[in-house]
Amino acid sequence: MPFPPVEEQLAVIRRGVEKIVPENELAAKLTKSRETNTPLRIKYGIDPTGIDVHLGHTVPLRKIRQFQELGHQAVIIIGNYTALVGDPSGRDHARSKRLTEYEVEANAVDYLNQVGKVIDLSKAEVHRNGDWFGPMSFAEILQLCGKVTVAQLLTRDDFAKRFAAETPIFLHECLYPVMQAWDSVVIKSDIELGGTEQLYSFMLARDLQTAQKLSPQIGVMSPILVGLDGVRRMGKSLGNYIGISESSFDMMKKFMQVPDAVMRMYFELLTDLPLSEIDALLAGHPKTAKTTLARAVIGQYHSAIEAEAAATRWQQEVGEGGLPTDIPVVKLSRSKLVDGQLGAARLLVETGLTPSTSDARRAIAQGGAYFGESKTRIETHDQLISVETGLLLFVGKKKFCRLELSE
């Protein structure tokens, strides 16, 4: 298919991008590509170290898909050999555990299944860098290492900090950026996508490509998507993430927690809505903006129908304070009751809605505990609650259950 005009391509490429290095070469590459009807090779590498893809991971993946839609060739590098080393980017210490080849390959299969929700894998090249690093002899590895100096490696921010702090830098870690850069040589990358922390490796790749008489690649770097706390980068370990494999309703609930201050970032990086439309939404009510954002993103990983259903359900259950449709049933022995009743604090603990009596008391004191379909507030921790099968209990907006008495 014919490539769009260069200015149109640049507008798409620049959206949501923090840095393009060197930017003055990008238009020339796109122009030559269009004149020769030759797609650019767009590289994105991932080390399959065990990953549940969340929206933070989709930022560069969405950029790959945009390049695909512009007519260019996506090239995915599964770093099954770099994963054995572990990426030192942004780390102030060495990784304590290295994965086995079997673990890496199992993770790679799972990762590609998830990535297929974002990009068109049927039109992408997928390579494992073990295909070229595995057969290398020790002499060839020495030859590759001879292309990079220790002084070059110490210009990396993470290595420089560790060197200054006298924190160990292991030799195998120094090979990581060299291996990543050599991937670009092997697959003849024109553009590499990633985060700003990858700048060193991107530039090293340019040096190695030039030495091999190849056209040097351009680095297109995306900003780091912050999580639901609005401060730290999105990550599963931080509990501030939205996973693309989560249910549409779970995604909806999380989107409604996105801080207002980062809404523009989410719109620009996670949707294709025109910037003028985003401006109009952000000038209006935050709730409307968040539901629009949620529908746009959820529709990408589920469907527009499921996204709309999730928004409707959220409005009914949370926005209007209605009853959830998926209330878990908790069994409670009748032997724990006295004349069919139980103290409020103990009841919350027995049903698992709070982990301890002190947590139960705190929830009640703060006015966050309720019972019954009408959500009657529990006033005191020692209030006696009449318990029967079907009784509903609530702690806050996210914890609730329906009781079933057992003998």
Q: Enumerate the CATH 3.10.290.10 domain ranges in the chain, comma separated.
A: 329-406
Cα–Cα distance measured from residue 172 to residue 75, given in angstroms and rounded to the nearest whole number: 26
Residue that the structure tokens 């709070």 belong to: 354
Query: Are the CB atoms for 46 and 79 separated by under 8 Å?
Result: yes
| Number of CB atoms found within 10 A of residue 219's CB | 24
| Number of CB atoms found within 10 A of residue 356's CB | 11
Q: What are phi and psi of 146, to 5 degrees?
A: -70, -5
Structure-token pair, residue 351: 């049903």
Strand ranges in 180-324 using DSSP code E only, listed in sequence order: 191-195, 218-222
3-state SS assignment for residue 61: helix
Structure-token pair, residue 1: 């298919």
CATH fold label, 329-406: 3.10.290
Task: Fill in the DSSP letter of residue 394.
Answer: E
Q: Measured between alpha carbons, how far apart are the two ends of the chain, in Å?
A: 71
pLDDT digits (tens, 9 = 90+) for 327-383: 889 999 999 888 888 999 999 999 999 999 999 999 999 888 988 877 888 989 998
Structure-token pair, residue 33: 């590509």
Structure-token pair, residue 363: 């929830």
Amino acid residing at 98: R
pLDDT of residue 176: 83
6-222 — its CATH code?
3.40.50.620
pLDDT digits (tens, 9 = 90+) for 174-204: 788 889 999 999 999 999 999 887 888 899 9
pLDDT of residue 94: 41
Query: Are the CB atoms for 25 and 6 separated by under 8 Å?
Result: no
Query: Are the CB atoms for 124 and 112 separated by under 8 Å?
Result: no
pLDDT of residue 322: 65
pLDDT band at 95 (very low <50, low <70, confident <90, very high): very low
Query: Are the CB atoms for 317 and 323 separated by under 8 Å?
Result: yes
pLDDT band at 89 (very low <50, low <70, confident <90, very high): very low
Q: Enumerate the CATH 1.10.240.10 domain ranges in the chain, comma separated.
A: 236-319
Angle at 295 between CA 116 and CA 375, to 5 degrees: 120
Q: Is residue 19 predicted with pLDDT exceeding 70? A: yes
pLDDT of residue 44: 94
pLDDT band at 290 (very low <50, low <70, confident <90, very high): very high
Cα–Cα distance measured from residue 45 to residue 183, given in angstroms and rounded to the nearest whole number: 9
pLDDT of residue 8: 95
Amino acid residing at 175: L
Decide the pairing of beta strands 392-395 and 399-406.
antiparallel
Average pLDDT of span 292-298? 96
Q: Enumerate the CATH 3.40.50.620 domain ranges in the chain, comma separated.
A: 6-222
Q: Which residues contact 11 (CB under 8 A, 6 or more apart)?
A: none
What does the mean pLDDT of the chain come to?
87
The two counts, helices (H) then strands (E), for the chain are: 18, 13
Query: Are the CB atoms for 114 and 50 separated by under 8 Å?
Result: no
Cα–Cα distance measured from residue 282 to residue 224, given in angstroms and rounded to the nearest whole number: 21
Q: Which residues contact 97 (CB under 8 A, 6 or more apart)?
A: none
Cα–Cα distance measured from residue 209 to residue 190, given in angstroms and rounded to the nearest whole number: 10
37, HSE (Cβ side, Cα atoms, 13 Å): 2
pLDDT band at 50 (very low <50, low <70, confident <90, very high): low
- Write b or e for each residue in 99-108: b if 16 or more Cβ atoms lie within 10 A of its Cβ, otherwise e: beeeebbebb
- Cα-only R_g, the chain: 27
Closest CA to 53 of 40, 42, 41, 62: 62
Query: Are the CB atoms for 274 and 249 separated by under 8 Å?
Result: no
Q: Which residues contact 279 (CB under 8 A, 6 or more apart)?
A: none
Distances 180 to 156, 169, 250, 312 between C-alpha atoms, Å: 14, 18, 36, 46
pLDDT of residue 182: 94
The sign one gets for the Cα dihedral 392, 393, 394, 400 is negative
Strand ranges in 129-256 using DSSP code E only, listed in sequence order: 191-195, 218-222
Judged by phi (left if over 0) then psi (alpha if -120 to 50, else beta), residue 16 lies in left
Candidates 1.10.240.10, 3.40.1010.20, 1.10.10.60, 1.20.58.110; correct CATH number of 236-319?
Answer: 1.10.240.10
Cα–Cα distance measured from residue 369 to residue 353, given in angstroms and rounded to the nearest whole number: 10
Q: Is residue 220 predicted with pLDDT exceeding 90? A: yes
